Structure 1
Amino acid sequence: MASLNVYSVLVVLFLSCGAVMATKENDQIIKENNCETKMGLPCVLEAFTNIFETGSISNKCCSELVVLGNFCHSALVKRTLENPLFKDISRATIIVKSIQTWNNCLALIDSPSPFA
């Protein structure tokens, strides 16, 4: 019985260390790449609403998101998911929506305009 408790404590410590390391890794990525300064606040809010709630993202904000880069986009989404305010949200659903938003914006920006 005591070995089961020790094992449980070790698992909890391992998982919490992994979470702290993930947080530090995301924070480091965000800081080193100046991720928080690459999008205007209105577009940040549009992207957030599109990914974490229900909303759409404009062509202008898609352009800003693509300029932000997938590396920053992923790190910012993951850091947001680490916030205790989002503990009840489905992480898998948010990751899927994040990838869909990125892919939709990338396709929109990469496709030639019919009016060009």
Structure 2
Amino acid sequence: MASLNVYSALVVLFLTCGAENNCETKMGLPCVLEAFTSIFNTGSISRKCCGELVVLGKVCHSALVKRTLEIPLFKYLNPGTMIAKSIQTWNNCLALIDSPSPSA
């Protein structure tokens, strides 16, 4: 599990990268953490957070992943693996939000 410092770094990255790439911050903090956990750790992302991620957009999603991989804190990660996981998370989110919602 990532430490508080890792999560803090991700939040700062999300806010600064979003400003630099004209990405509006349309994701709430819980969904930001869910998305990053899904990509950079082991976790899943909920339908709600997938919706927020898709609204953020693929360009912003890709820019955030790229910037994360440039942070020294994450130098131990394999960029190819992380990019593949980010694409998988994006595609899973597209499929999840395009599928019918389960009945209540």
Structure 1 residues 29-68: aligned runs within 5 Å: 30-35=19-24, 37-68=25-56
Q: Which has the higher helix share?
A: 1
CA displacement at 1:33 relative to structure 2? 2.2
Structure 1 residues 114, 40: closer, same or farther in 2, change over 3 A? closer
The residue matched to 2:49 in structure 1 has which SS?
helix
- Where does structure 2 lack aligned partners over 5 or more consecutive residues? 1-16
Aligned-residue RMSD, C-alpha? 1.9
Bigger radius of gyration: 1
**In the alignment, what sits opposite 2:86?**
98
Deviation at 1:114, TM superposition (A): 5.1
User: Could you say which residue in structure 1 is the equivalent of 2:58?
Assistant: 70
> Are the counterparts in 1 of residues 23 and 56 from structure 2 also a CA contact under 8 Å?
no
Rounded to whole Å, the distance in 2 between the matches of 1:98 and 1:111 is 20
**Cα distance between partner residues in 2 of 1:41 and 1:88:** 25
**Amino-acid identity (%):** 75
Structure 1 residue 77 displacement after superposition = 0.5
The one-letter amino acid of 1:91's match is: P
Gapped runs of 5+ residues in structure 1? 1-26
What TM-score, normalized to structure 1? Answer: 0.69
Aligned length: 88
Structure 2 length normalisation: TM-score? 0.76
Q: Distance in 1 between matches of 2:35 and 2:52?
A: 10
CA contact (8 A) 2:39 2:86 kept: yes
